Amino acid sequence: MTRRACGLVLILAVTFAALFAPLLTAYAPTQTGVFFLAPPDAAHWFGTDDLGRDVLSRVLHGGRASLVIGVGAAFVACVIGVPAGLLAGYCGGRVDLWATQVMNLCIALPGLVLALLITAVTGPSVLNIVLILGFVSWPRVARLVRGQAFLIREALFVEAARAAGADAVWIVPMHILPNVAGVIAAQFALTVAYAIFTSSSLSFLGLGIPPPSPDWGGMVRTGLDYLSINPAMGLAPSAAVGITVLGFYLLGSGTRG
């Protein structure tokens, strides 16, 4: 099986679990019970948490927020990054010089710290996290697209199109975009992985989606306190983050190669 296929299988599994979470578990994610911190058993596969909620149900439901954040952030990153990269790569010269400086500046900023700062000011919400993570990831998309656009701009088929009277308005959508599509798709998947990972880190640091809705990073944080009582409480959401990030990473890196 190729990397790409492995990645796809993982992603499909995670998406399926998140989408059909209510059907897959007998408990609602916010439904509290009488057994606190019960270890895994037949009724609660991953046990219960400190408020008596079913950990499995919370992990499955938590996937929804993570996927929305991941895909949303990657989408925002591409919406900013692709046009910026195309512009810099195709125009070259001064435009490229300035665009590259801005990209380098943004890449130099530590994404997690920036996200922490902004969420601390604006307050955590799914939309805010999507926007922030999208904003810190766009330069990577832009830089990659720029490099490819730069190469393709010099291709003979682009020169042939120019010889037939084509201008940028024709060449960029007809030749450059289709040829960078593969790279964009790959970077999209990698950005999803990055965003899910970072959003979990944010939640872990207490700046994630506000409770009580389930979210992996937050669960890991609480789970850490009870590691010796119900280890699954922290390990299950960690594994979920790992599997999802791995899935998107495999898809992204496999697509590029």
Partner 1 sequence: MTAPLIAAEGLVKHFPVRQDVFGRVSAQVQAVAGVSLAIAPNEVLGLAGESGSGKSTIGRLLLRLLDPTDGRISFAGQDVTALHDRGLRPFRRQAQIVFQDPIGSLDPTMTIGAAIAEPLRLQGMANGPELRERVGALLQAVALPAGYYNRHPNELSGGQRQRVVIARALSVDPSFIVADEPVSALDVSIQAQIINLLEEMRTRRGLAMLLISHDIALMEHLCDRIAVLYLGRVMEIGPARDLVRAPRHPYTEALVSAVPEAARAGRRRIILRGDIPNPANPPAGCVFHTRCPYAQPDCSRIVPEMRPVASGHLKACLRDDVP
Interacting residues with partner 1 between 161 and 200 (CB under 8 A): 161-167, 170, 174-175, 178-179, 181
- The distance of closest approach from Cβ of residue 137 to partner 1 in the complex, given in angstroms and rounded to an integer, is 26
Angle at 130 between CA 129 and CA 135, to 5 degrees: 100
Which residue, 16 or 157, has its beta carbon nearer to partner 1? 157
Stretch that binds partner 1, among 129-137, 155-163, 196-204, 217-225 (CB under 8 A): 155-163
Shortest Å, Cβ 151 to partner 1: 11
Q: Is 157 in the site for partner 1 (CB under 8 A)?
A: yes
Q: Which is nearer to partner 1, 31 or 162 (CB)?
A: 162
CA gap 29, 141 in Å, rounded: 35
Whichever of 5 and 155 has its CB closer to partner 1, that residue is 155
Residue from 102, 155, 224, 227 in contact with partner 1 (CB under 8 A)? 155
Q: Which of 101, 123, 159, 242 binds partner 1 (CB under 8 A)?
A: 159
Q: Cβ closer to partner 1: 12 or 97?
A: 97
Alpha helices (H) along the chain: 3-19, 21-24, 55-91, 93-108, 111-122, 126-153, 156-163, 168-171, 177-204, 216-225, 232-256
Q: Coil, strand or helix: which one is 215?
A: coil
Q: Closest separation between CB of residue 190 and partner 1, Å?
A: 22
CB of 177 to partner 1, least distance (A): 9
| CB-nearer residue toward partner 1: 105 or 151 | 151
Dihedral of CA 126/127/130/131: which sign? Answer: negative
Which window, 42-50, 80-88, 160-168, 237-245, contacts partner 1 (CB under 8 A)? 160-168
CA atoms within 13 A on the CB side of 154: 7
Q: Which long-range contacts (CB under 8 A, 24 or more apart) does 241-246 make?
A: 241/66, 241/196, 241/197, 241/200, 241/216, 241/217, 243/10, 243/13, 243/14, 244/10, 244/11, 244/14, 244/63, 244/66, 244/67, 244/70, 244/193, 244/196, 245/193, 245/196, 245/197, 246/7, 246/10, 246/193
Positions in 43-102 near partner 1 (CB under 8 A):
97
225 in contact with partner 1 (CB under 8 A): no
Binding site for partner 1 (CB under 8 A): 97, 155-157, 159-167, 170, 174-175, 178-179, 181
